[in-house]
Chains A and B, each alone.
Chain A
Amino acid sequence: MAATARSKAELDEEFAELYRSHLRDVYSYAYYRVGNHHDAEDLTEQTFLQAYRHFERAQAESDGRPLRPWLIRIAHNLAANLYRDRSRRPQTTIDDTSGLSAVHTTEDLVEGRDELARILAGVKELPNDRREALIMRFALGMDNREIARALGKTDGATKVLLHRAIRQLEGIVGDEHTRS
């Protein structure tokens, strides 16, 4: 009995550590995914609540690997549900919440607002899986293996996905630059 209580306390402590370590990651992902703070907060909250419910099993199945991809996968699935639910409601379109909003310092705005705005607009034009892979790589700093686990793909497929996302983005931004 004592052993059970101790392991549960350890489990809760580990969950608290996971929460502290990755709150910013989950929030960043949610924000770039849904495009506004209100929905990003809801998504982050739901992600951690769901993570808490399944934490013990996830830990057992992780085999010692980091749990960040698992957290981001939860957020990814919840965001997909959010969009699906909203698409069924005629009064609220997906476009109302799908914008990639920029979060930048004054220095960034002075130095290259137009350039960064073009990049964000280009990212928004990418197919969902490419856009998500770029968010995970550049906003969260995830490596190929982590992204692969979050998206449920192989490492090789993820490497190709990222490569194609960047090439496509270059094309989009280049075309935009030529037109202007």
Chain B
Amino acid sequence: MSTPGADIETLLSRALQPVDPPDGLSSRLESTLVDLTEAAVVELESWELRAMRDPRNWVRPVVAVVVTATAGTALVILRVRAGQKRRVAVAHGPADLAARTAKAVAGEARRVVRR
């Protein structure tokens, strides 16, 4: 055997190969972003106006607004990106691809807003 005289770095490269993430991880991550968005919406909806009189309570709704906006936008981007290969495959030229992508962005944005 080549151990220990063999190049230990070569052996390390073979032993510590990069690991591909499972197929479901991306969709799970997207779902978590959606959950985050929904939780933030619920937080806003359930907030009683009278509580806003107390400045100590201002932090939570502000955080909820920020989380809702940022998570929702990221979700649209991730979803549109996820379908890009499929659109490239079926598109008839760059103009058609741009139209399909714009349509996908609008569709995904509507889906996120509806949630």
Residues of A within 8 A of B (CB): 8-9, 12-13, 15-16, 19-20, 23-25, 27-28, 31-32, 37, 40-41, 44-45, 48-49, 52-53, 102-104, 108, 112, 114-116, 118-120, 123, 134-135, 137-141, 166, 169-170, 173-174, 177
Contact = CB atoms under 8 A, between A and B. Distances in A.
Given A49-B33, A177-B1, A166 B9 contact: yes
Given A44-B29, A49-B33, 19 more contacts: A8-B73, A12-B74, A27-B19, A27-B20, A27-B21, A28-B18, A32-B19, A41-B21, A41-B25, A45-B29, A49-B32, A52-B33, A52-B70, A103-B19, A104-B14, A120-B16, A123-B15, A174-B3, A174-B4
Q: Which 3 A-B pairs have the closest CB atoms?
A: A174-B4, A27-B21, A119-B15
B12 A134 contact: yes
B22 interface: yes
Nearest to B67: A53
Contacts of A15: 74, 77
Given A8-B73, A9-B73, A140 B18 contact: yes
A137 B26 CA distance: 25
A126 to B, nearest CB: 11
Interface of B: 1-4, 8-9, 11-22, 25-26, 28-29, 32-33, 36, 70-71, 73-74, 77-78, 81
A116 B6 CA distance: 12
A23 B21 contact: yes
Nearest to B70: A52
8 contacts: A24-B21, A27-B19, A44-B25, A116-B14, A116-B15, A123-B15, A169-B12, A174-B3
Contacts of A19: 78
A11 to B, nearest CB: 9
Contacts of B17: 103-104, 139
A134 B12 CA distance: 8
A33 to B, nearest CB: 11
Contacts of A27: 19-21, 25
Contacts of A116: 11, 14-15
A41 B28 contact: yes
Contact of A37 (B22, B70, B73, B81): B22
B48 to A, nearest CB: 26
Nearest to A111: B14
